[in-house]
């Protein structure tokens, strides 16, 4: 049996989304910017996609959305655009972010640091969450931007975005959230959150890879990252991947409607809890960041005595796909940076395994995964030269 439990890395394209995309490869294939019928034929579905996108996040209208290639481009568009507008051409020189952002945020901020910008990286509390008051305390006269993720890709922890948005509004500071891991899992409302900018990526909510979006609040200036064309009103040059844009719009429609979010919060959460509870019955296991206030599909579990990469290999041999954290960091054997941010000791920081489910997982798959995981833990702990579990009188050893 094959069981895919790495949906925070990427998701399967929903077959219903794929159906919407098909016509734009060999039938309606014109360039949207061409004046003839072949180009104009793409417009109705592109407008429909923009309608799905802006309504899915409760933006004002379709002008508040630009189509990008992924969340990484969207994040760079915001951070570097604010740098140009507010720092290079303004009187600001400070950005507030967190220690547990995705590398797309951290690396963009590191680049700005190399250009002389001051960056504050806020720490998480013992539950792996940024506390809103630490944002308030970090804002200074010359703060240009606050950028805090909506949901952490490794732990699933949800951050107090609405509270932080109110703080930024009162301090008159621009506010960006990387919502890549939130859309399709929890309600996302850019107006309730007082966001000026937001980034997202279609392949995280059953849309195609290679397409994402940036929300830019109406009236907020943002110098484009890409120049050289009038697409997206000049906010993002380059011919749009029409099929992917249509796919992302429909995926947003399927993922953010009331019924879909209720399904995530019930069916997917129940399967995640079933998997998590079974693993937590093993001794010396714990959920990193705790089980409260998370996206319904994610669990990051430390299994003492079991190297995360070894576990992934065992699982893969049995047809199960999971991860130790962000795929972009999975090539190296570095300790999980999020676990480091929790102050985990170096041994613990290598024991994390992330399981991230989706609406396409079934109970049969989860029960099979539980059986494989429990057997893998037994095998790997028995092989470990450094792990010796001394069961307490009432516990059975492994
Ligand atoms: C919070 C967050 N932001 C940005 C990105 C980048 O998205 P992309 O530009 O579409 O690639 C990711 C991808 N996160 C992961 C990719 O693989 N495992 C992950 O957890 C993410 O989880």
Q: What is the pLDDT of residues 105-122, one digit of tens each?
A: 999 999 999 999 999 999
Measured N-to-C along each axis, helices 269-280 and 363-383 cross at an angle, to the nearest 10 degrees, of 30
Q: Is the CB of 354 under 6 A from ligand 1?
A: no
Task: Report the relative pairing of strands 298-303 and 285-287 from DSSP bridges.
Answer: antiparallel
Kindly provide the b/e burial profile for residues 41-68, where b requires at least 16 CB atoms within 10 angstroms of the residue's own CB.
bbeebbebbbbbbbbbbebeebebbbbb
Q: Which residue shows structure tokens 């720490």? A: 123
- For position 326, what pLDDT does the model report? 47
Instruction: Classify burial at 362, counting beta carbons within 10 Å of its beta carbon; exposed 0-12, middle 13-18, buried 19 or more.
Output: exposed
Residue to mutate (ligand 1; options 79, 180, 200; most atoms within 8 A of CB): 180
Task: Check if 328 has its Cβ closer than 6 Å to any atom of ligand 1.
Answer: yes
Ligand 1 centroid–CA 152 distance in Å is 10
The residues assigned a catalytic role are 328
| Residue 75 alpha carbon, nearest atom of ligand 1 | 4
- pLDDT digit string (tens) for 329-369? 444 445 555 666 665 566 666 788 999 999 999 999 999 99
Average pLDDT over residues 221-249: 93
Note the pLDDT of residue 397.
Answer: 44
With a 6 Å cutoff on the Cβ, whether 327 touches ligand 1 is: yes
**What's the pLDDT score for residue 330?**
46
- In the predicted model, is pLDDT for residue 217 greater than 70? yes
ipTM: 0.98
pTM: 0.93
pLDDT in tens, 26-49: 999 999 999 999 999 999 999 999
Distance 94 CA to ligand 1 centre (A): 25
Which one of 71, 76, 148 would you pick to mutate in the ligand 1 pocket, going by the greatest count of ligand atoms within 8 A of its CB?
71
Give the mean pLDDT of the chain: 92
CB 30 within 8 A of CB 39: yes
Q: 210: burial class by Cβ within 10 Å (0-12, 13-18, 19+)? A: middle
- In the chain, the N- to C-terminal Cα span, in Å, equals 26
- State mean pLDDT over 295-317: 94
Q: State the pairing for strand pair 320-321/3-4.
A: parallel
Compute the distance between CA of residue 77 and CA of residue 196 in angstroms, rounded to an integer.
13
Q: Which of 113-122, 171-180, 232-241, 292-301 has the lowest mean pLDDT?
A: 232-241
Tokens of 369: 């995964």
Strand partners, 201: 212
Which of 180-194, 228-242, 248-262, 322-336 is the least confident region? 322-336
In Å, the largest CA–CA distance within the chain is 80
């Amino acid at each position: 049996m094959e069981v895919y439990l790495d949906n925070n890395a990427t998701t399967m394209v929903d077959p219903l989304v794929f159906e919407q995309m098909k016509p734009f490869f060999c039938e309606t294939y014109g360039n949207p910017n061409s004046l003839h019928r072949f180009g104009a034929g793409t417009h109705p579905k592109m407008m429909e996609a923009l309608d799905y996108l802006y309504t899915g996040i409760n933006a004002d209208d379709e002008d508040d959305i630009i189509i990008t290639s992924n969340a990484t481009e969207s994040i760079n568009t915001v951070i570097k655009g604010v740098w140009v507008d507010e720092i290079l051409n303004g009187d600001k020189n400070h950005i507030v972010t967190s220690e547990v952002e995705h590398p797309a945020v951290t690396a963009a901020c590191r680049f700005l640091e190399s250009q002389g910008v001051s960056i504050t990286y806020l720490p998480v509390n013992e539950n792996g969450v940024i506390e809103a008051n630490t944002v308030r305390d970090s804002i200074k006269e010359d703060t240009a931007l606050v950028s805090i993720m909506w949901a952490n890709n490794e732990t699933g922890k949800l951050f107090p975005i609405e509270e932080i948005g109110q703080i930024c509004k009162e301090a008159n500071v621009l506010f960006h959230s990387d919502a890549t891991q939130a859309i399709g899992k929890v309600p996302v409302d850019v107006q309730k959150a007082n966001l000026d900018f937001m980034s997202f990526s279609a392949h995280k909510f059953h849309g195609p890879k290679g397409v994402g979006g940036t929300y830019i609040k109406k009236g907020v200036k943002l110098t484009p990252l890409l120049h050289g064309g009038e697409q997206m009103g000049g906010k993002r040059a380059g011919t749009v991947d029409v099929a992917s844009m249509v796919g992302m719009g429909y995926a947003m429609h399927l993922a953010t409607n009331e019924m879909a979010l209720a399904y995530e919060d019930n069916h997917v959460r129940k399967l995640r809890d079933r998997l998590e509870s079974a693993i937590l019955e093993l001794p010396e296991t714990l959920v990193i960041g705790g089980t409260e206030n998370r996206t319904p599909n994610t669990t990051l579990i430390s299994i003492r005595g079991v190297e995360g990469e070894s576990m992934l290999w065992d699982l893969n041999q049995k047809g199960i796909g999971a991860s130790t954290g962000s795929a972009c960091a999975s090539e190296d054997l570095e300790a999980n940076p999020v676990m480091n941010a929790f102050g985990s000791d170096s041994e613990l920081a290598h024991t994390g395994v992330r399981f991230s489910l989706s609406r396409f997982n079934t109970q049969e798959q989860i029960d099979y995964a539980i059986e494989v995981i429990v057997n893998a833990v037994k095998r790997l702990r028995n092989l470990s030269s450094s792990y010796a579990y001394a069961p307490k009188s009432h516990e059975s050893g492994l």
